[in-house]
Structure 1
Amino acid sequence: MNTKTLKALTIAGSDSGGGAGIQADLKTFQELDVFGMSALSAVTAQNTLGVNGVYPLSTEAVSKQIDAVTADIGIDAVKTGMLFSTEIIEVVARKVKQYEWGNVVVDPVMIAKGGSRLLQEDAVKAIKEQLLPVSFVITPNIPEAEVLTNKPIRTLEDRKEAAKQLYGLGVKNVVIKGGHDEGQTELIDLLYDGKEFHSFTSKRIETKHTHGTGCTFSAAITAELAKGKDILDAVRVAKAFIHAAIENSLGIGNGHGPTNHWAYRNVRGGDVK
């Protein structure tokens, strides 16, 4: 039996409502038997109804958090979420290269469910030019992929072309999620590994309680990569994890409520291996 404790770091913003960001990432790591650590990029004041304030941390604060956990505890996988600014993205990209992290998952958080901007407009270029070339996988939804490629995405073929374009920026794998493909009864998450396309399909669940789905999905991928899983198996588990989390809604709040992070463990009877 492998007794090594596997560890994952999330570099992202804090969600005071607990449904997304650092909080969602740490819950997901825990549920998938990976020890979670965090480096906060910003603090937000938000709930299920929307974001009331965004307070970014200094680049020094972000850098020192990363250095502290890396030097003492060690890291098997890293995910980034809300990074907010070009300056913070530059710090994270430097740390990825400094520590030679291989399992880096980029969730390019741009807009909150309620419409509030969580990434400054000029920071998109920094993601493309500095972070993607040193990352293992990026997990945009369709609107985020449109911003990153500067092209509209209407069909599955459009998504494939967008994935190829993002792969061309240096990232090793691209997962474009299908949750924003309105009008479809089935959701298709599309993975491109530079050679082949792989589709992961699930039934659409009609609910407004989807706050934090992107954070949770990418965190699940990160946890599985920390365990040594390949990208196909990591995405497969993440797909099952987020489907269970959405399907077993908690019904919290008066707006877009959070997903149920312990649903996957319950569905599997406590076994998450």
Structure 2
Amino acid sequence: MFQYKKIERLGIITLEKSPANSYDIHFFNEFETILNTIENDQNIAVLLLKSGIPKFFCAGADIKVFASNTVVQNNEMVAKANKIAKIISTSTKIFIAFLNGHTLGGGLELAVACDIRLASNKKFLIGLPEVKLGLMPGNGGIPRLVNAVGYSYAFEMVVSGNPINSEEAFRIGLVHKLYDEKTAEEEALTYVKNLSKGPKTAMATIKQTFAEGVGKNIQDFLQLETNMVKTLYDTFDAKEGFQSFIEKREPKFE
């Protein structure tokens, strides 16, 4: 269901569960094992999450499985989905989702748990259609979508269940970078490789600062930022950053 490989400080997870990367409890159990391995790998700075299935990033829950499950089984699957999203959103690694196919329901919830979203401009759907099944998102999709695009856009997407395309997702800020479909995968890989060369400790601290600061009043957020930057002054990477600047060379971060 998954392929995992490392390229220096970059980890790449490829979703490969035909035909649409729809998930069930077994999918999440295997996913969790991979994520735990990555979190314990101190050399990894950035993780790219992408699909190896044509036309789909992830279609969310396997509807046939969901329909045949008991309520208890579905609650267990939702709890596991939430756990996976939390692992991603609280990880010390920077998670990047590359969307190059339909990203629906729990698939979008997985994408918004990531820190950065890249996409191809080819024609595919992005949305949270749960309301059309008499349900609503339950894997953290609503609050994370609000954080990504704001209350107004998020509410309309969720209450209507209507999907958008990648160009609209880019326009509203759901997708950070949009690439031409002919070169998208190559450009996305270049982007994540470059990011993975950055200072791991500083990037992890930035992620933590954003996560803890959102929702605070401005004074508390400012104090948090002050406290967090103080933890970086004496690190190897900060010293290397200053020294490489003085010596006019590329930094070699830990």
Per the normalisation by structure 2, the TM-score is 0.42
Structure in which a larger fraction of residues adopt strand: 1
Structure in which a larger fraction of residues adopt helix: 2
Q: Which has the higher contact order (CA 8 A, sep 6+)?
A: 1
Whichever of the two has the greater Rg, that structure is 2
